[in-house]
Amino acid sequence: MGKKHLSLIVIPHTTKSPRTWSFSRRTVKAATVCGIGLAVLMTAVTVDYVRVRLSRRSYHSLVAENAKQKEELRVYGTKVGELERKLNGFREYAGKLNVFAGIKSPEMLTNPGVGGGQSAFPPDAAQVIPPPGNPPPSIASVQDLTRTADDLEKNLDALLSHFEQLQGQFATRPSIAPVIGYRSSGFGWRLDPFGSGRRAFHSGLDIATVHGNPVVATADGAVLRVAYDGALGNNIIINHGNGITTLYGHLSKALIKPGARVKRGDTIGLVGRTGRALGDHVHYEVRLNGSAVNPNLYILDEF
């Protein structure tokens, strides 16, 4: 039995003779399979191409969204950090107001003309406030910031109420710096500036400035002492009442006498380097019931 064939006849619309092509069934089947396979392959390629394009578009969209979120988080973090710093500043100032109002006891804080020598106060008054514990932990979230702000608000409300009750006593509370200048040595333990290599407790605050600049009383009070000694040179002690006294040392000249009454801001002397000093500055002390406290807690005009 002969093989079966399929014929393809093309009849032109001309006088030319028809053209005939004959194909075996095997050839037709193979061509059909190849055509179907090619169609499937083309479909798969097309689908994969579309999927890749969609994936790339989705990827780029995700990358852009991720970059946007990163920028938003960066801005958010910056704002939270700024808010944290501001709240810390308010908290520090509220602490100063608590000390100023007498609600809390001062705590010793860790803060180039510097001075030295023993204080002009009697030796039995040389106690100091102990150092504070570890500082409060950093604020890590908006919830923590909110709680801190709420606590500060309550504290400030209590301070306002207390201030209203004690308004008449404010004039005798030290609240300003005795002179404008550079704080060359803070309150607390330090290496001896005169080269002994030993640590010594500095019971006041050294503020370096120009020779002859005016030194002012930091609160109303009565001049308790005007004297000279080898350590502090020309120095003045003012009694402000309520157990508070202030001392101003290394003056080039004292302009008041014992027993005089002074107001906050009155000029009481001039900046110098008398006594044991390395440069022109004022050694300023604040004492509460005879104990040295950090003068920075009583300087409210630098917030």
pTM for the complete prediction?
Answer: 0.53
Give tens-digit pLDDT for 100-144: 665 555 543 333 444 554 444 433 333 333 344 444 444 456 677
**3 state SS of 131:** coil
Residues 139-151: what's their mean pLDDT? 69
Q: Which of 113, 160, 134, 163 is nearest to 278 (CA)?
A: 113
Query: 133: which 2 tokens?
Result: 């514990």
Residues 190-215: what's their mean pLDDT? 90
Q: Across-strand partners of 221?
A: 262
Give tens-digit pLDDT for 27-83: 777 778 787 888 888 888 888 778 877 777 777 777 788 888 777 777 777 777 777
Backbone angles phi, psi at 251, to 5 degrees: -70, 145
